Structures are given as C-alpha cells and as structure tokens.
Structure 1
Amino acid sequence: MATTMVEQRNQACLDACAECQQACETCNYNCCAGNPDMAECARLCLDCAAICAACVTLLARDSRWAAQLCQLCAQVCEACAAECDKYDMDYCRECAAACRRCAEQCRAMATVTV
C-alpha cells in the first residue's frame, strides 16, 4: 500500500496557495520599497500570504478545517488581486494573477470537501 505525503485531491490547491504566498511576499516587499501610496496593497499582500501559508499547512495534513479556511482564503485572494490590479507594475500583475489562480483552486476545494 503506497502512501503519499499530500492527499492527491489537495495538491492543486496546495500548489496554488504556495505560489500565491510567494507572489504576495514579493509584491509586498516591492510595494514597501516603492511608493508609500501602496500601503494598502502591501497590507493585503501580507494578509494573503499568511492565509495562503495556513492553507498549505492544513491541506498538507488533510485537516477537516481546510475547506472552511479555503473559502476565506479565496475571499482574501480576490481582495488582494483587486488591489494589485490598481498598479501597473509587473510584480503587482503577477501577484494578482497568482491570487486569482489560488482563489479559483480554493473555491473548488471548498465546494468539494464541505
């Protein structure tokens, strides 16, 4: 009997959350180093990175709470994407795209496992 480290049904969502976390951390760093008018973008990126990290942890251990956290994560990712869309910088565009992919995967995970 083969065992896997992560439930296969969780893998796509886990990967999207990890990618989103990295993109948000990068965007936050660049927002903080750049324009002070981007403070809200930086804050949302930190919130998004934190919730994505929590999702990765819960998905990796197939927690019964993962689906509920994924629902919230999708909302935070959408808010972060909307804020990043306000700025015409590559890192903001990349972050917004990663957030949207993560939101899509999290919504799918939440509906499958709830």
Structure 2
Amino acid sequence: MNSTYEECIKVCLECMEACNSCYDACLTSEDVKMMASCIRFDRECADICALAAKAMQSNSPFAKQICQLCADICETCGDECKKHNHEHCQMCAESCFRCAEACRKMAS
C-alpha cells in the first residue's frame, strides 16, 4: 500500500466513525425532523469515506477522483453538522473538515 495514503486513510476512517456516531445520535434526537439533513449527510459522508479508504488501500486508479468527491461531501456534511449545537454534531463537523482537507491534498 502506498504510504502517502496512510494518513488520509486514517482520517477517512475516523470521519466515517464520527459520521456514524452522529447519525445514530441524531436519530434519537427529540426533533428528528430538524436533524433530517444532518442525518442524510452523515450517511452519504460515512459511505464515501469508507469507499475512499478502500480505494486508497487497493491503490485504485480512481482513488484521486474518489478523494475529490469525498472532500466535497465531507465539506457539505461538516457545514450542516456545524449548524447544530449537539456535541456529536460539532465533533463530526471537525472530523469532516479534517477529512476534506486530507482528501483535497490527496486528490491534488
């Protein structure tokens, strides 16, 4: 496996976990309707992070494109999570922005 991928893979997997935790916590929220966008983006983001990590691990010829898309989705998810005061949303937003940055570097 390409060692330049290692850090990015780690950040992607951390982001995936943060999104899954946020998703789960949002589902138990008093006002699930208000959290609908957050929940939707958490799912999208967790999925693309998992795919990006897998693409880098297998040295996919599409790794750069997938990382670029991952960065865009992470950014969107982070922006949404940032709007909510729940601790899990704030932590998720941080993780998303970190991942977006790592994936952008990888894609460039």
Place the TM-score, normalised by the shorter chain, in its bin: over 0.9
Letter in 2 for 1:63: S
Pairs aligned (count): 106
1:54 corresponds to 2:51:
yes
Aligned residue in 1 for 2:18: 23
Structure 1 unaligned residues grouped into runs of 5+: 1-5
Aligned residue in 2 for 1:104: 101
1:62 Cα deviation (Å)? 1.1
Larger radius of gyration: 1
1:11 corresponds to 2:6:
yes
Letter in 1 for 2:8: C
1:7 Cα deviation (Å)? 1.4
Q: 1 CA distance for matches of 2:36 and 2:24?
A: 11
Q: Percent identity?
A: 41
TM-score, length basis structure 2 = 0.96
Structure 2 unaligned residues grouped into runs of 5+: none
Aligned residue in 1 for 2:37: 40
Q: 1 CA distance for matches of 2:3 and 2:28?
A: 38
Deviations 1:66-88 (A, max 9, x none): 10000000000000000001100
Q: 2 CA distance for matches of 1:95 and 1:59?
A: 22
1:17 Cα deviation (Å)? 0.4
Deviations 1:51-72 (A, max 9, x none): 0000011010111101000000
Aligned residue in 2 for 1:3: none
1:87 corresponds to 2:91:
no
